[in-house]
Amino acid sequence: MPASPRLSPNEWQFAFDHVIYDVDGRAQFTKFLQSEYSEENILFWWAVEELKAVGISEGRAKFESTVQEMYDTFIAAESPLAINIDHDTRTDIIGLVEGKDPSTFPENIYERAQAHVYRLMEKDCFSRFVHTSAYKDVAKKLSLPQTFRFNGITRLQPSTAVIVQAASN
């Protein structure tokens, strides 16, 4: 079987983006994250996407209540689905929300945290997801690569789970 071309970082991101923006792909990726006890990442990422899509077009009050609900769910110290973000980002968000007038919430309040979660999912979670049969199904539907090359090793995804040495180029 011929080795697939090595995916560049842009091609990897392309595959990841297609999975998370597709309804079925996102559902399968969410199930995978649930099995790893990390579904808060995709839930937060998608909540920010919805917040950006709605923005303040539905009214400032709706925007403010959504920001507060997301804070309580994903950011606050005892939040039920606390996301894993760096200390500085969390501290900045806390400073923008806790004890503040909601009318001061910036529209991009969660963008930095969303970018952090996106990178975490793309680099860490997605690299494990591509080894599952769920990814194989999504990849077929979306015409995405089913074989990836990492450091000169071809990994046939995911049906064979065989690792073979790639022919040197």
Every domain of the chain and the residues it spans: 9-165
pLDDT score for 56: 72
Tokens representing residue 64 in the block: 């403010």
For the segment 66-76, the average pLDDT, to the nearest whole number, is 97
Examine the pLDDT at 4 and tell me if it is beyond 50: no
Q: Cα angle vertex 59, ends 54, 60, to 5°?
A: 100
Examine the pLDDT at 57 and tell me if it is beyond 80: no
Fold adopted by 9-165: Regulator of G-protein Signalling 4; domain 2 (1.10.167)
47-61, 72-86, 135-149: least confidently modelled range: 135-149
Average pLDDT, the chain: 82
pTM: 0.78
Tokens representing residue 120 in the block: 């975490």
Give CA separation, 22 vs 15, 29, 58, 139, 148, in Å.
11, 10, 25, 11, 20
* C-alpha span between 129 and 158 (Å, rounded): 9
- Determine phi and psi for 151, rounding to 5 degrees: 50, 45
pLDDT score for 165: 28
Residues 6+ apart with CB under 8 A from 125: 29, 32, 33, 36, 38, 41
Q: pLDDT by residue (tens digit) across 12-30?
A: 678 899 899 999 999 999 9
Considering only CA atoms, give the Rg of the chain.
Answer: 19
